[in-house]
């Protein structure tokens, strides 16, 4: 594949675009970064450490794509501004922002420690706000942008043991619908992808019994793969999705149907 050229069969042409993806080291974020690069985007990948990003960056480069990594804690305002400034200095514009970084600290609400609440809200919700604010300013100047925020079916339905996580992911939805209205006149769309149960490190820790029970509850009778999410994110990142904004799209095998 020629450098920067869309992969054969890729229906979304992101040639010449820069995509910033948070949580690009593993799981869903890694699949999104690889997919956007395969469609021609230059990828700026974010995770807490650079070594964690190496695998993703190498996979993109091995396929002929372009990618750079930056270390940042998405919950830290100074980190976020520094990284966005550095990405902007390196590449002239940022066209696509995918707020994917997230974590869980599960436990029943009555026993939940303040720290578990704060860490999840700060990473999943505040991190999405911090990157959207910093990158949104660049997109406003460029009169173009695609922001895709990763929520969860837990933010739509609730899930026992995930009061902090569900609140953060429901918050991402309200936040996204609001900024979609604020940014629409500048040709910036904002959409939410709400995954169901996707096989990654985050869900690997669950006992097999729980995984089997979840599978029973999924109408398509399989757990999701990171690529199931990456496909939709890629479409929403492209020029063809210019009339879709403020939407929440579940990719969950029918769990919330």
Residues that bind ligand NAP (CB under 6 A): 22-23, 25-29, 46-48, 52, 73-75, 100-103, 123, 150, 152, 195, 197-198, 200-203
Q: Are 107 and 165 in contact (CB under 8 A)?
A: no
What is the CB neighbour count within 10 angstroms for residue 5?
Answer: 15
Q: How far is the CB of 123 from ligand NAP (least distance, A)?
A: 4
Annotated catalytic residue 235:
no
Q: Which is nearer to ligand NAP, 3 or 114 (CB)?
A: 114
Q: How far is the CB of 47 from ligand NAP (least distance, A)?
A: 4
Annotated catalytic residue, options 144, 165, 235, 243: 165
Separation CA 20–CA 236 (nearest Å): 14
> For 27-30, which contacts have Cβ atoms below 8 Å and span 24 or more sequence positions?
27/198, 27/200, 27/201, 27/202, 27/226, 28/100, 28/150, 28/195, 28/198, 28/200, 28/226, 28/229, 28/230, 29/56, 29/98, 29/100, 29/101, 30/55, 30/56, 30/59, 30/226
Q: Which is nearer to ligand NAP, 186 or 215 (CB)?
A: 215
Q: How far is the CB of 147 from ligand NAP (least distance, A)?
A: 14
Q: How far is the CB of 241 from ligand NAP (least distance, A)?
A: 20
Q: Which is nearer to ligand NAP, 62 or 201 (CB)?
A: 201
Q: Are 120 and 105 in contact (CB under 8 A)?
A: yes
Q: Which is nearer to ligand NAP, 23 or 238 (CB)?
A: 23
Helices (H) and strands (E) counted in the chain, each on its own, are 10, 7
**Residues annotated catalytic, as ranges:** 165
């Amino acid at each position: 594949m020629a450098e920067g050229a869309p992969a054969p069969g890729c229906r979304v042409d992101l040639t010449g675009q820069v995509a910033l993806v948070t949580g690009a080291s593993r799981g869903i974020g890694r699949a999104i970064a690889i997919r956007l690069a395969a469609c021609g985007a230059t990828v700026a990948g974010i995770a807490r450490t650079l070594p964690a990003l190496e695998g993703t960056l190498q996979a993109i480069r091995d396929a002929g794509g372009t990618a750079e990594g930056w270390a940042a804690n998405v919950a830290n305002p100074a980190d976020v501004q520094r990284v966005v400034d550095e990405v902007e200095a390196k590449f002239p514009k940022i066209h696509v922002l995918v707020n994917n970084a997230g974590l869980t600290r599960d436990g029943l609400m009555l026993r939940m420690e303040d720290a578990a609440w704060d860490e999840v809200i700060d990473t999943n919700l505040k991190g999405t706000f911090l990157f959207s604010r910093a990158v949104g300013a660049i997109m406003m100047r460029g009169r173009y942008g695609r922001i895709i925020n990763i929520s969860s079916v837990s933010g739509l339905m609730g899930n026992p043991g995930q009061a902090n996580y569900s609140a953060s992911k429901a918050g991402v939805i309200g936040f996204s619908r609001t900024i979609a209205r604020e940014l629409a006149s500048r040709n910036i769309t904002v959409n939410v992808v709400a995954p169901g149960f996707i096989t990654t490190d985050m869900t690997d820790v669950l006992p097999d019994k729980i995984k089997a029970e979840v599978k029973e509850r999924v109408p398509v009778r399989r757990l999701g793969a990171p690529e199931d999410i990456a496909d939709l994110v890629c479409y929403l990142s492209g020029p063809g999705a210019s009339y879709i904004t403020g939407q929440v799209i579940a990719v969950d095998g029918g769990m919330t149907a």
